[in-house]
Structure 1
Amino acid sequence: MKLFSKRMDKELAIYQQELIETHYQEVDNMYRQIRGWRHDYRNHIQTMKAYAATENWEALSHYLDLLDEDLTTVDTVIKTGNPMTDAILNSKISLAKSKNIQVIADAHIPVKLTSSEIDLCCIIGNLFDNAIDASLKLPEEHRLIRIYMGMKNTQLYISFTNFTAEKKMKKEGNLFRSTKGAGHGFGLARIDAIVERQEGYISRNSEDGAFTTEILLPQL
């Protein structure tokens, strides 16, 4: 039993590291796009001035439409007050939108968190990835992820809800049955381990085609 536990801890550690590297790469790619757009800002202004000077309003309008579409892909839509949370949320929102998944997010964190950035990265990243994978099984018009993050007294509250193809998922022990294989199981186990270590609270509920995970993490 002890040997099995050590092997599980090792596999979880490897999975966690791979997950963090993936999330940081997503965040880095998003900010590379932002830096690139800012770098080209002056060129965009000069081009629009040239169209305006020749009164080529049709070309100017078309150019503005192209810029608007390009900027939408890199726009930082969430500002929680916590830089790491902003980074991971915005990178995942961008990923979800690229897969035609609607995301409604309300996140406000007005205080400095005691939870580590790595723990937040693992929790938010896993929750978002699971929600995206579940949403992809649905028709595009039914794909929706709702996110809420905020402080409840001295605790950080995190809530993720997404629609699923199943009306009610089957529960095995404290977890709902995964159809994604070992990696998904490690993700759930990692979230539970973090919540337990921080003496927090986690609740998962599947009802009427929607799956919700709620987490409370003490911040004292």
Structure 2
Amino acid sequence: HTALLIEKQNKAYQQQLQFMQKSQMRLRFLRHDMKNHLFQIKHFLETNDMEGMYTYINDLEDNLDLTQSITYTQHEAINSILNYKLLPLRTDGVALEVDVQLPDQLTYPIFDLNVLLGNLLDNAIEATALVTPKENQKITLKMKERFGALQLQVGNRFNSNIVPKNGTHKSDKINHGLGLKSVQEIVRRHHGKMWIVPEKDWFEINIILYDSNPEKLQGSGKSI
């Protein structure tokens, strides 16, 4: 039953990844046509057609749909999911600290990285939304590859005054929920480790993946 739920969510993340890749494709087309766009804007300026220029720029923004995107890394797929998840928070004024240092060639499957980042950020975003005052909302993300191992750390401030049902905060139930089951499965397949650093108002989850090619080790039965 759990395996079916994980498979269902993985398909959802695959659809999300395809959506983000289409956004990146639109961005590449826009960059390719930038000379033509600049020529048209220059024409509006030369003819003093301010209304036409603003209309044209607005059309560009609508087609771009990533006008506020940030380059976190040279890898478009990673960059896409980070912008997809973090751009609304940045626009909303949430404090973000992102440090991604990856080699030119990714050695870990982008699908696995997408599921890890998506689930962990979803949990962090949900907990952050409950933090008051709003000025205290904060999320950190660190991601790097060293000595062939991938290290991922996601942290967020949470409202320690909120005690939900069953007397525990959601962040205390890190091993529960469909999202974290997906994360645990990926960590297991890569023979990795996952641990939590809970503090008074700060929650942090750390992951290390050791094996970049888990296919050859499937069926070993090793768990985190």
Fold shared, TM-score > 0.5 on shorter chain: yes
- Counterpart of 2:146 (choices 152, 164, 168) is 152
Show the counterpart of 1:3.
Answer: none
Q: Deviations over 1:29-78 (max 9, x none)?
A: 5325524643763465245534654789xx6xx96xx78xx587343421
Correspondence list, 1:92-111, <5 A: 92-110=85-103
Query: Partner letter of residue 202 of structure 2?
Result: A
Paired with 1:54 and 1:82, the residues of 2 have a C-alpha distance of 41
- Assess if the C-alpha contact under 8 Å between 2:95 and 2:139 holds in 1: yes
Q: Percent identity?
A: 24
Q: Deviations over 1:141-200 (max 9, x none)?
A: 22221111112322111111111122698489xx8327xxxxx81101110111012110
- Assess if the C-alpha contact under 8 Å between 2:192 and 2:211 holds in 1: no
Show the counterpart of 1:177.
Answer: 173
- Assess if the C-alpha contact under 8 Å between 1:168 and 1:208 holds in 2: no
- Counterpart of 1:205 (choices 193, 197, 207) is 197
Q: Kindly state the Cα deviation for residue 135 of structure 1 after the two structures are TM-superposed.
A: 1.7
Paired with 1:206 and 1:13, the residues of 2 have a C-alpha distance of 29
Give the CA RMSD over aligned residues. 3.4
Show the counterpart of 2:136.
Answer: 142
- Assess if the C-alpha contact under 8 Å between 1:12 and 1:190 holds in 2: yes
Show the counterpart of 1:196.
Answer: 188
SS at match of 1:112: coil
Show the counterpart of 1:31.
Answer: 24
Matched, 1:13 2:7: yes
Correspondence list, 1:50-89, <5 A: 50=43, 53=46, 70=61, 73-79=67-73, 81-89=74-82
Unpaired runs of at least 5, structure 2: 213-224
Deviates more, 1:108-117 or 1:39-48: 39-48
Residues 12 and 219 of structure 1, relative CA distance in 2, 3 Å threshold? closer
Q: Kindly state the Cα deviation for residue 203 of structure 1 after the two structures are TM-superposed.
A: 1.0
SS at match of 2:69: coil
Residues 129 and 33 of structure 1, relative CA distance in 2, 3 Å threshold? farther
Residues 155 and 31 of structure 1, relative CA distance in 2, 3 Å threshold? same
Residues 129 and 24 of structure 1, relative CA distance in 2, 3 Å threshold? farther
- Assess if the C-alpha contact under 8 Å between 1:167 and 1:207 holds in 2: no
Instruction: Normalising by structure 2, report the TM-score.
Output: 0.71
Show the counterpart of 1:181.
Answer: none
Residues 115 and 168 of structure 1, relative CA distance in 2, 3 Å threshold? farther
Aligned residues: 199
Paired with 2:211 and 2:113, the residues of 1 have a C-alpha distance of 12
Instruction: Normalising by structure 1, report the TM-score.
Output: 0.72
